Amino acid sequence: MKSIASSRTYAALPPPFGKFAHASVLKLAGAKLVFVSGVTARESGAQDTEAQTRVIYERIGAALEAEGGGFQHVMKMNVFLLDIRDYPATNKVREEFFEGIDAPASTLVEVSKFVRPEVRVEIECVAAIPEA
């Protein structure tokens, strides 16, 4: 039986440092759901939350583009911050990437720490991309 789900890795993102994929893709009739794993700005050199957030959205955009989609297809985002006071910085960048398109459902959570000490923000999302 042919699987309707598959794991993906993308050259535009740093290799996963654990046993996980950059995304999982579920094919449906006429569309596919793309579940993008938590993306960080590791290995980018970005220091502050705003700069890290920008790198993350660029990386998410590259993953979505590789699947034939874009931010207009994002249905759900989960944002994890090291310091909730950084929300305005992350939101400023988010508004740029979603300018002129509907914003997705979202969750924002403050966490106590990340796996990598330089990480200040991590974002994951789910997109529904129509099949061409």
| pLDDT tens, residue order, the chain (132 aa) | 455 667 888 888 888 766 667 878 778 888 899 999 999 999 999 999 999 999 999 999 999 999 999 999 999 999 999 999 999 999 999 999 999 998 888 999 999 999 999 999 999 999 999 987
Q: Look up the pTM and report it.
A: 0.85
CATH fourth-level superfamily of 21-130: RutC-like (3.30.1330.40)
Which sequence spans correspond to the domains of the chain? 21-130
End-to-end Cα spacing for the chain: 23
Q: Which residue has the tokens 């598959």?
A: 6
DSSP state of 88: H
